Amino acid sequence: MDTGAVHYSVKTQELIHLHSLLLETREYLEREGNVPYGAFDSYDAQSTRPFHIHRQKDAHMNAIYLLLDGFDQSLQTHPPPAT
C-alpha cells in the first residue's frame, strides 16, 4: 500500500554537515544570550560531535535530535520577535 510518503536515505556526510550547522547555530544563540540554562545538557552528555566522522549515522541523528530539542527549549523561553 502506497501512502504517498516520500522516502529517501540521507548520507552520513549530509548528516555530519547538518550536525555541524546546527552546532554553529547553537554557539551563535549562546553568544547572543538566547539559551536557557540546561537547554543543551542532553546534547552535551552524549559523545558524538561533528568531527567524529567515523561514528554511525544513528549517533549523528541522535545528536541532531538533541540539538533540535535544545533549540525548542530556547524558543519556548525566548520566542522570536513578532513581525
Q: CA-to-CA distance for 9 and 53, rounded, in angstroms?
A: 18
CB 71 within 8 A of CB 44: no
What torsion do the CA atoms of 11, 17, 23, 29 make, to the nearest 10 degrees? -120
**Superfamily of domain covering 12-77:** Uncharacterised protein family UPF0058 (1.20.1270.110)
76 pLDDT more than 80: yes
Find where cell 552546532 sits.
Answer: 23
Which cell numbers hold the place of 57? 549515522
pTM of the model: 0.84
- Rounded mean pLDDT, 18-30: 96
- pLDDT, tens only, 28-62: 999 988 899 999 999 999 999 999 999 999 999 99
Give residue limits of the domains in the chain: 12-77
